[in-house]
Chain A
């Protein structure tokens, strides 16, 4: 039914649908895993794997983080530019710790591995920033 002031509700609905779709189309899902090993108090290796999800992930977005992108749409480049902040963010999300220490004939050796198990992240790209949040 048409209202007196024209088709205002219809136009509002249409705009919201377009906006939602544009946001949804820009949102992508990525699988990210991170791991590093420290041997005898020295960093041994560090690995960050980023891959676009080939299947839709399930879950609701959790604690999010916002990158400054300056129009960049490639997540790997964005993360490499904000590497330190992103690593701190991953630490906050929670890492699995696996530590092994062996003392043989009074000689000690230790190995500590911190791992972020492969997690699906939802990334919303915008003009100047990107919002990333894990799905759980």
Chain B
């Protein structure tokens, strides 16, 4: 009896639900798989390249080197005392030491001294000329079969020097040294 009552109730419920109109919900149905044939116009179609995954690589940054701060050289920090420049208000003194030797065949020490001194004076004049006017230098190297055959350096000085003074002369063991100086003033060069 009990089961019959439950059965009736169920039948009644189903009858009610069947009587109500069904809601119109469009159900999308997945299309059935179909065979598609692709015709290439050129006839040489290849498989489409797969999209390559682009990996973003982090740029390798060089390690920052530790730079030690070194104290600048004294010369750069403290510029040398004013360069010697011929100033209008101040004279410039140039000093040199010329050297000369006596020839081997001298008749007396006095002659040796005189000749050595003359040579030393010439050397001193040359040094003054080099300092004041400058030196012309020519060089030539001859290389053959990857070897230096001859290496030549030629220097020349041409100048006119006047009013140079001998400060001191020493003669020792055949070598004569003459210390000379010249006073340069701006008016000497003014044109």
A14 within 8 Å of B (CB atoms): no
Residues on B with C-beta less than 8 A from A112 are 122-123, 125-126
Is B115 in contact with A43, judged by CB distance below 8 angstroms? yes
Contact digits for A75-104, partner B, Cβ 8 Å, 1 yes 0 no: 000000000000000011111111111111
Contact with A along B87-128 (1 / 0, CB 8 A): 000000000000111110000000000011011011101100
Shortest distance in angstroms between B88's beta carbon and chain A's nearest beta carbon? 23
Partner of B101, one of A42, A100, A101: A42
Interface size class of B (residues with CB under 8 A): 20 to 34
- A43-B115, A43-B118, A100-B154 in contact; A93/B100 too (CB < 8 A)? no
Is A114 engaged at the interface, CB distance under 8 Å to the other chain?
yes
CA distance A95 to B157 in the complex (A): 13
A115, closest chain B residue (CB): B160
Q: State whether A36 and B118 are in contact (beta carbons under 8 Å apart), knowing that A93-B162, A96-B160 are contacts in the complex.
A: yes
**Of A91, A100, A104, which is in contact with the most chain B CB atoms at under 10 Å from its CB?**
A91
Q: How far is the CA of A52 from the CA of B99 in the complex (A)?
A: 36
CB-contact partner of B156 in A42, A91, A99, under 8 A: A99
Q: Which residues of B contact A102 (CB under 8 A)?
A: 152-154
For A83, give the chain B residue with the smallest CB separation. B114
A12 at the interface (CB under 8 A from B): no
Of chain A, the residue at the smallest CB distance from B101 is A41
Q: List 12 A-B contacts (CB under 8 A).
A: A42-B100, A43-B118, A91-B121, A91-B125, A94-B161, A96-B160, A97-B129, A97-B157, A98-B156, A112-B126, A114-B122, A114-B125
> A42-B100, A97-B129 given. 20 additional CB < 8 A pairs?
A36-B118, A38-B118, A38-B119, A41-B119, A42-B103, A43-B116, A46-B118, A94-B160, A95-B160, A95-B162, A97-B157, A99-B156, A99-B157, A99-B158, A100-B154, A100-B155, A102-B153, A103-B153, A105-B150, A112-B126
Pairs of residues from A and B, 8 with the lowest C-beta to C-beta distance, nearest first: A94-B162, A99-B157, A38-B122, A101-B155, A103-B153, A38-B119, A43-B115, A43-B119
